[in-house]
Structure 1
């Protein structure tokens, strides 16, 4: 059966995700920024209260995905600190000024995160040559790419997502995310044949996941 990751912007969402059948939590802060690194105290509380896999966003700020030397050093420090909290994986992504993959910096963070797996987040949707980027990310050692198929949402990006899953050929997991809801997850799965899906499960404009939506998302996966 395909698996479900819930993007959680607070501890309450993480607990809701666990209680309603999610397979993994991506913990982050600042929903309006698309996710940044959350407080270490919240990560610690999440680890103490969750038995499912806990991935943590490593992103020092909102905005673009090109980081200064100081920001890159902060990302390194955050990975080392969060590793001590016994999480299960990390989520990050670094681009160059021309929106190509910054292989050197990404590889350095993947190596630093070992033995924990890493997901390259939706910075992927900014790249100009997605299939070239796919190969670079495999080479960097990432295990998953979170993407909407380079569109506003997974429905619009469905064809590109299907191509990416095919090109990846089980060498890396392509995880559709971005506007994924219980109303469209079935058709997305039927079309793309992806094995892992990502949603905030937020249905009311708040920053907290809906228990009913998590259940509905999970129930529709085959």
Structure 2
């Protein structure tokens, strides 16, 4: 039977160790929390990979802002993905849109193919697509295994009913991972509405970019 699991978004080395030591099943490694997470630098990724025994996904996002990229940025994303793949990471997190708010199937497919056989998560670019149902089908067809989403709202609490709807539409063809403002204080609300899944949180409770060990434990306890 499928069970709930926990992914912690880690913006530094300390958070990765805190996540592992306090029960996370996986981390998403990134930098620049204020930009919503960007590609981590290579040295950080090497250090974290050496220390972690739990699964580790790496975000491939060259900058903050929108999710449609220049040809040069796509080349950069591919190069980063190839370098990180050599380090033995477990998966990648990215998402490329067209300017009209649709999923760029060609570019996403190229990166998914490059990542193979590692699993890929389509990140919160999903929350700004024009048509969520169409985007869901496109993302599944591109070969992604997971969608990270707040339900197209500012946070998971606001998006709870959309998350429920998207998960039903997905019908076990892809994992719908709630993320965006998810904390121990609201995870029970989501669990009451959703089928078992991965939950995504930074577990940050102060003005730093580092996960709070007690918050990781608290979220874990609900799972």
Distance (Å, rounded) in 2 between the aligned partners of 1:154 and 1:92: 19
Distance (Å, rounded) in 2 between the aligned partners of 1:178 and 1:193: 18
CA contact (8 A) 1:175 1:194 kept: no
2:123 equivalent among 121, 137, 144: 121
Superposed CA deviations along residues 90-131 of structure 1, whole A, max 9, x for unmatched, are: 000000011110000000000000110000000000011101
1:158-177 aligned within 5 A: 158-177=160-179
Determine the structure 1 residue equivalent to 2:218: 216
1:81-92 aligned within 5 A: 81-92=83-94
Distance (Å, rounded) in 1 between the aligned partners of 2:129 and 2:195: 23
1:22-61 aligned within 5 A: 22-61=24-63
Q: Which runs of 4+ in 1 moved over 4 A?
A: none
Distance (Å, rounded) in 2 between the aligned partners of 1:204 and 1:35: 17
- Displacement after TM superposition at 1:193 (Å): 2.0
1:93-104 aligned within 5 A: 93-104=95-106
- Displacement after TM superposition at 1:190 (Å): 1.1
How many correspondences in the alignment?
A: 221
Superposed CA deviations along residues 127-161 of structure 1, whole A, max 9, x for unmatched, are: 11101100000000000000000000000000000
**What runs of 5+ residues in structure 1 fail to find an aligned partner?**
none
Determine the structure 2 residue equivalent to 1:137: 139
Determine the structure 2 residue equivalent to 1:5: 7
Distance (Å, rounded) in 2 between the aligned partners of 1:205 and 1:65: 26
After TM superposition, the structure 1 stretch with the greater mean CA deviation from structure 2, 63-72 or 187-196, is 187-196
Distance (Å, rounded) in 2 between the aligned partners of 1:53 and 1:121: 17
Distance (Å, rounded) in 2 between the aligned partners of 1:99 and 1:74: 22
Determine the structure 1 residue equivalent to 2:20: 18
Report the TM-score when normalising by structure 1.
0.99
SS at match of 1:161: helix
Determine the structure 2 residue equivalent to 1:192: 194
| 1:75 pairs with 2:77 | yes
- Displacement after TM superposition at 1:194 (Å): 4.2
CA contact (8 A) 1:16 1:211 kept: yes
